Amino acid sequence: MRSWTPSASPVAAAISSSRWTTTIRWSTLCSSWYGLTYSAGGLYFIRSNVFEAFAIPTASMVPTLLPGDRFLVNKTTYRRRFVRRGDEVVFRMPAEPGLNWVKRVIALPGDTVEVKGNEVFVNGRPLQREPAPRASLGAAARQVHGELFEEANAGRRYRILFAADSKPLPDYPKARVPDGACFVLGDNRNNSHDSRALGFVALGDVLGDVQYRYWPAVTWSRFGVVTE
d(CA 33, CA 31): 5
Q: What is the pLDDT of residue 187?
A: 97
Q: What is the pLDDT of residue 120?
A: 96
| Cβ partners under 8 Å of residue 180, min gap 6 | 109, 202, 203, 204
Give yes or no for a contact between 143 and 66, defined as CB atoms under 8 angstroms apart: yes
Amino acid at 191: N
Q: What is the pLDDT of residue 131?
A: 96
Domain spanning 51-225, CATH architecture: Ribbon (2.10)
Q: What is the pLDDT of residue 40?
A: 46
Per domain, the residue ranges of the chain are 10-49, 51-225
Q: What is the pLDDT of residue 38?
A: 45
| Percent of the chain residues past pLDDT 90, beyond the cut | 58
Higher model confidence: residue 159 or residue 226?
159
Q: What is the pLDDT of residue 25?
A: 57
Catalytic positions, please? 60, 103
Predicted confidence band at 113 (pLDDT cuts at 50, 70, 90)? very high
Q: What is the pLDDT of residue 49?
A: 58
Mean predicted lDDT score pLDDT of the chain? 83
Q: What is the largest CA-CA distance in the chain?
A: 115
Which H helix or E strand runs over 18? helix 10-49
pLDDT tens for each residue of 38-92: 444 454 434 455 799 999 999 999 999 999 999 999 999 999 999 999 999 999 9
Mean pLDDT of 177-202: 95
Predicted confidence band at 8 (pLDDT cuts at 50, 70, 90)? very low
Q: What is the pLDDT of residue 228?
A: 57
Helix, strand, coil in percent for the chain, rounding step 5: 30, 35, 40
Q: What is the pLDDT of residue 219?
A: 84
| Cβ partners under 8 Å of residue 58, min gap 6 | 67
Mean pLDDT of 175-182: 98
Higher model confidence: residue 190 or residue 27?
190
Is the predicted pLDDT of residue 22 greater than 60, yes or no? Answer: no
Mean pLDDT of 135-164: 91
Is the predicted pLDDT of residue 11 greater than 80, yes or no? Answer: no
Q: What is the pLDDT of residue 169?
A: 76
The answer to whether the Cα torsion of 113, 114, 118, 120 is positive or negative is negative
